[in-house]
Structures are given as C-alpha cells and as structure tokens.
Structure 1
Amino acid sequence: MARQLHLLRATVRPRRPVPGIDPLGVSITRMRVLPTDLDLYLHVNNGTYLQMMDVARSNYIADLAGFQRLAKHRWYPVVASSTMTYRASLRPFQAFEIHTRMVGWDERITYLEQVFLRGETECARGLVAGRFLQRGTGARVPAADVVELLAPGLAQPELPAHVAEWAHAVGVAYRGS
C-alpha cells in the first residue's frame, strides 16, 4: 500500500522536469527499503519491485515534462509485459536507486530498462514493454506519436537485439498490419 501511495504522489504531484534531459538517457529515482516492502524473508518482495518500477517510470515521464502533455491528449501508460532478473537482495532501510531509460520503440510499444542499484551493486534489472491508451476510448496510441510528444524530433534508435528477441518471445513486438 505504501508504494501505491508513492505512485499516486509521483503521478498527481510529479517532480520537476529536468531541463535538457536526454530522453534516451537515464532517469534516476532514489528510494529506501521500507518495512512494508518486505516479505517473510526480510528482503524486498518480488511484487514490490514492480510497484517501485511504476514510481520510477512516472518520474521518467515527469523528468521529460510529460504529464501535462499526455493529459492534454488524454493518453496514459500501461504495461504490456515485463520481466525481471534478481541478483542481490535489498534489505530493510537500505538506500538504492532505480535507473530508468527508454531503449527504443516499435510501432506499438516503447521499451524501457530499469536497473536497481545499491551503490555499485546491481540488485535487479527489469525490461518493460509499455504502451499508451487514450482515456475514454481505450484506443491504442502509436508509440511514435507518444515519443514525438514527449521528445520532439528524437531519432529512433535500433532496438537492442536482446530486447527485440524478448519482445518477440513474449508476443508484444509489432507483427505488421
């Protein structure tokens, strides 16, 4: 519940935009492990990582000054698929960062990588396939339209091979008309 409130705050009262931020660069969200994040083994519950990633993606949108622009079009983000790899535990009260970056997009989906770091130690890494829908109609918004709104003129990078392979494996990659 605590991370849902954190997400609500990050979305309703987003942090200030970062002038000149590279849309393909890293957006950093700093957090600390709360007692409510823990499972019975006293490390962060696997589901809580996903909630933390939601907060970090909201911060990424805020860094790009995107919330007002998205609201004007009535567009909102949803997760189409995600995958996680866990490497090291996060324990009570430890400080950590989530590094979020967009690695590319196709006709339907934007792909983000989110890395949990405790100092120099990588604790977890997630890939997220996100899409945007239009409020009221539920219509899917092409990823290129969203990218143009949030980062006008941004050239489309080549999608990393491991991300493209994952997108095909989980069935979210664009398959043509």
Structure 2
Amino acid sequence: MTRMIQLALATTRPRAALADQGLFDPSVTRLRVRLGDLDFYRHVNNGVYLQMMDVARSNFLADLGAFPLLNAHGWYPVVASSTISYRRSLTLGQRFEISTRLLGWDPRCAYLEQTFTRRGEHVARGVIAGRFLARDGARVPAPDVIDLLGTHEGPSPELPAEVQAWAEAVGVAHRETA
C-alpha cells in the first residue's frame, strides 16, 4: 500500500524537471526496501517490483518536465505489457536504484528499460511497452507524445532485437494494416 501512496505522490506532486534531461538520458530513482515490500520469504515480492517500476517511470516523466504538457492535452500513461527478470534478491532495509531509459518507440508504444542495481550489482531488469491514452479513452500515438515532449527530432532508434521480438510475441508491436 505504501508504494501506491508513493506513486500517487510521484504523479500528483512530481519532482522538479531536470533542465538538461534528454529523452534518452537515464532517470535514476533511489529507493529503500520497506517492510511492506517483503513476501513470506523475506525478500521483495515480485509484484512490488512492478509498483516500484511505476514510481520510477513517473520520475522519468517528471525529470523530462512531461506532466504539465501531458495534463494540458489530457493524456496519461498506461502499461500495455511488461516483462521482468530477476538476478538477485532485495531484502529489508537495502538501498537500491532503478535506472529508467527510453529505448525507442513505434506508432503504438514507447519501450523503456528499467534496471535495478544495488551497490553497482545488477538485481533485476524490466522492459515496458507503454501507451498513452486521452481522457476519452482514445489511444495517443507514441510519436505524438515524443513530439510533445520536444526533446528529440527524427525517427525512433532501432529497438534492440530482443525487445522487438518480445513486443511482437506479446502483441503490442505496431502492425501494418493490410
């Protein structure tokens, strides 16, 4: 429950934008494992990782100064699909970082990588396919959001092959209509 409160605060009262933050620059969120994050085995519950990733993505948008722009258009982010792999456990009281970075986009989704590290060691890695919706429920094309943020010109960089394959396998990748 506390991560949901943290997400609400990160979204409604975002941290200050970073003047030199570019669209492809990593955004770093520093957190500490709390008692409510743990499962029966005394390490972070797999579902809590996803909540932590939500907070880090909100911070990514905040660092870009995106919230006022998105709110003015009535757009908001949603997760279309996610995958995560774990290498090490996080336990009570440990400090760690989540680095969030944009990998690229297609006409439907923006693709982000979120890496958990503790003392420089890799803990977990998540990949997110995110979409933006308008308040009326209409999908907002990812390139329109990229243009709104105004921090990049030109087409998306090529997605890593494994991310493109994953996006196609789970059905979120853009498909040409016949």
Q: Could you say whether these structures have the same fold, taking a TM-score greater than 0.5 normalized by the shorter chain as the test?
A: yes
Secondary structure class of the residue paired with 1:68: helix
Partner of 2:107: 107
- Deviation at residue 54 of structure 1 after TM alignment: 0.2
Q: Does 1:17 align with 2:17?
A: yes
What's 1:89 paired with?
89
Match of 1:148 in 2: 147
Separation (CA, whole Å) in 2 of partners of 1:42 and 1:121: 20
Question: Residues of 2 paired with 1:107 and 1:127: CA distance?
Answer: 18
- Give 1:71's aligned residue: 71
Q: Which residue of 2 aligns with 1:157?
A: 157
Structure 2 CA distance for aligned equivalents of residues 169 and 129 of structure 1: 12
* Alpha-carbon distance between aligned partners in 2 of 1:101 and 1:153, rounded to the nearest angstrom: 14
Checking the alignment, whether the CA contact within 8 Å between 1:109 and 1:130 is kept in structure 2 is yes
User: Cα distance, 1:153 vs. partner?
Assistant: 3.6
When the two structures are aligned, how many residues end up with a matched partner?
A: 176
Aligned-pair identity in percent equals: 57
* 1:76 CA displacement: 0.3
Q: In the alignment, which residue of structure 2 is the partner of 1:26? A: 26
For structure 2, the residue ranges without an aligned partner over 5 or more in a row are none
Equivalent in the alignment of 1:57: 57
Q: Is 12-21 or 151-160 further displaced after alignment?
A: 151-160
Give the Cα separation in 1 of the matches to 2:14 and 2:90.
Answer: 25
Deviations 1:17-67 (A, max 9, x none): 011112111000000000000000000000000000000000000000000
Q: Tell me which amino acid in the other structure corresponds to 2:56.
A: A
Output the aligned Cα RMSD: 0.8
**Are the equivalent residues in 1 in contact too, given 2:23–2:152 (CA < 8 A)?**
no
What are structure 1's unaligned runs of at least 5 residues? none
Instruction: Report the 3-state secondary structure (helix = DSSP H, G, I; strand = E; otherwise coil) of the residue aligned with 2:42.
Output: coil
Matched residue, 2:80: 80
